Structure 1
Amino acid sequence: MIQAVRLRKHYGQTKAVDDLSFVVRPGRVTGFLGPNGAGKSTTMRMILGLDTPTGGDVTIDGKYYSELKQPLRKVGALLDAKWVHPNRSARAHLKWMAVSNKIPVSRVNEVLEIVGLTEVAHKKAGGFSLGMSQRLGIAGALLGDPEVLLFDEPVNGLDPEGILWIRQFMHRLADEGRTVFVSSHLLSEMAQTAQDLIVIGKGKLISQTTTEQFIADATQDHVRVRSPHALKLREILVAHATVTEDAVDGALVVHGIPAQQIGEIAAENQIVLHELSPQRGSLEEAFMQLTKESVEYHAH
């Protein structure tokens, strides 16, 4: 378990992290979301003892990272896939990490196999693509078979097969009772990966809840309806619901009544339907809605 209590990090007058409290529980994949500049990377660095908090605390199972004698056996992390010395081979890189934490060198071959890098184990890491570097970073995080895992943008550079693999792999890690904390800007992927969410903006907590509840709290379900008699159907539906029009294809977007009731109304009025599809709000919609006041960099 990771616990932050009133965590703060200031750089002069800039408050990168501002009175932030949250809990990351074992047995779940917890997504860490926020706009650019929200303080996600700074928070992760403080968890790992790479940055010193200005105030507050962040602990791993009740201990500071600096108190862990063999930290890789407790915590595995991937924050920067390209931090590896370019002239070291993948195997040499993992070997020195293993030796530094008294991890059996045999574990190096195991994690290389897990991430699919066995065939390139003796190649220099400087020649790796971003996707291969991500896999090497994940291998390093897994090296000590840790109970707690942190990943910052782990799917950057991965192909679709690799993205599916890391998603399923994170779920397996959580199912084993591990604490899995992952930051990403790929909201469509987070919607399929994270069971819980911690969302921050401008260094402050915006929400901590399940992914499902986060979406439900910030969006409204609706129904898409297409019909060759859309105008007539719309005139009838406005007495029961809020009806707008999809700007892309002209479909009716109905809020306030379920698809079954819309179908019954159409049938009663002998209106042919070409589409009647319930639509749930997306994580992207919910994120944009709840973080719009916390976006620091706006495009024009």
Structure 2
Amino acid sequence: MIEAKRLSKHYGRTVAVDDLSFTVNPGRVTGFLGPNGAGKSTTMRMILGLDRPNGGDVLIDGQHYAGLKHPLRKVGALLDAKWVHPNRSARAHLRWLAKSNRLPVSRVDEVLEMVGLTAVAGKRAGGFSLGMSQRLGVAGALLGDPEILLFDEPVNGLDPEGILWIRQLMHRLADDGRTVFVSSHLLSEMAQTAQDLIVIGRGKLIAATTTEQFIHDATEDRVRVRSPQASRLRELLAGQALVADDAVDGALVVHGLAASVVGEVAAENGIVLHELSPQRGSLEEAFMQLTKESVDYHAHD
């Protein structure tokens, strides 16, 4: 478990994290979301003792990271995939990490196999692609078989197969009862990966809830309808709901009515339907809605 209590960090007059409190529970994949500059990386660095907070506290199972005798046995982290001496091989880098935490050398080859780098274990890490570096970073995080794992943008540079692999890995780790805390800008991926969410903006907490509840609270479900009698159906529904046109194919998008009600109105009036499908709100829609006041830079057409 990770517990942040009124955590604050500022750099001169710039406030990076502002009175932030949250809990990351074991047995779940928890996504950490926020616009650029929201304070996510700073928060993760404070969890790992790399930055000292100006106020508040953050604990790992009731302890400070600095107080852990062999930290890799408790916490595994991937914050910067390129944090490897470029002239070291993947195997030499992991052996160095293992020795620093008194881990068995045999564990090095185990994690290299887990992340798919056995074939390039003897090659210089400086020649790795970003995707290969990400896999090496994950291997380092897994080296001590830790109970708690932190990943910052773990799918950067990975191909679709690699993205699926990291998603499944995080689910397996959570299913084992571990605490998995992952930051990412890929909202479509987080929608499939994270069961819980912590969302921040300008260093402040916006939401701490399940992914499903976050989407439900910030978006509106709607119904997509296609019919050769769309104009008539629009007239019938206009008094009960907001009806808009889908710009792509001219289907109707009905807000404020369940699909069953739309279907019943069509049936009662002899209207043929070619499509009647409920549309759930997306994580991207919910995120944009709830963080729009926390974005520092807006693009304009």
2:164 equivalent in structure 1: 164
Q: Distance in 2 between matches of 1:208 and 1:194?
A: 12
2:181 equivalent in structure 1: 181
- Kindly state the Cα deviation for residue 239 of structure 1 after the two structures are TM-superposed: 2.2
Q: Distance in 2 between matches of 1:258 and 1:293?
A: 30
Deviations for 1:64-91, whole angstroms, at most 9, x for unmatched residues?
A: 1000010000000000001111110000
- Residue 58 of structure 1 aligns to a residue in which SS? strand
Q: Distance in 1 between matches of 2:185 and 2:48?
A: 21
Q: Distance in 1 between matches of 2:296 and 2:3?
A: 26
- Residue 267 of structure 1 aligns to a residue in which SS? helix
Unaligned runs of 5+ in 1: none
- Residues 1:64 and 2:64 aligned together: yes
2:138 equivalent in structure 1: 138
2:32 equivalent in structure 1: 32
- Kindly state the Cα deviation for residue 296 of structure 1 after the two structures are TM-superposed: 1.1
Deviations for 1:216-255, whole angstroms, at most 9, x for unmatched residues?
A: 0000100001111111110001122221122222211111
- TM-score for the superposition, normalised by structure 1: 0.99
1:225 equivalent in structure 2: 225
- Kindly state the Cα deviation for residue 119 of structure 1 after the two structures are TM-superposed: 0.4
Across the aligned residues of Structure 1 and Structure 2, the Cα RMSD in angstroms comes to 0.7
Q: Distance in 2 between matches of 1:249 and 1:40?
A: 39
1:5 equivalent in structure 2: 5
1:111 equivalent in structure 2: 111
Q: Distance in 2 between matches of 1:54 and 1:73?
A: 28
Letter in 1 for 2:150: L
- Residues 1:45 and 2:45 aligned together: yes
- TM-score for the superposition, normalised by structure 2: 0.99
The number of residues matched between the two structures is 300
After TM superposition, the runs of 4+ consecutive aligned structure 1 residues lying more than 3 A away are: none
Deviations for 1:135-154, whole angstroms, at most 9, x for unmatched residues?
A: 00000000000000000000
1:75 equivalent in structure 2: 75
2:199 equivalent in structure 1: 199
Q: Distance in 2 between matches of 1:216 and 1:58?
A: 30
Q: Distance in 1 between matches of 2:75 and 2:297?
A: 33
Q: Distance in 1 between matches of 2:34 and 2:148?
A: 21
Letter in 2 for 1:63: Q
Deviations for 1:80-114, whole angstroms, at most 9, x for unmatched residues?
A: 00111111000000000000000000000000000
Unaligned runs of 5+ in 2: none
Q: Distance in 1 between matches of 2:133 and 2:12?
A: 34
2:90 equivalent in structure 1: 90
- Kindly state the Cα deviation for residue 259 of structure 1 after the two structures are TM-superposed: 1.1
Q: Distance in 2 between matches of 1:262 and 1:207?
A: 33
Deviations for 1:201-221, whole angstroms, at most 9, x for unmatched residues?
A: 000000000000000000010
Deviations for 1:129-173, whole angstroms, at most 9, x for unmatched residues?
A: 110000000000000000000000000111111111110110110
- Kindly state the Cα deviation for residue 256 of structure 1 after the two structures are TM-superposed: 1.7
2:285 equivalent in structure 1: 285
- Residues 1:240 and 2:240 aligned together: yes
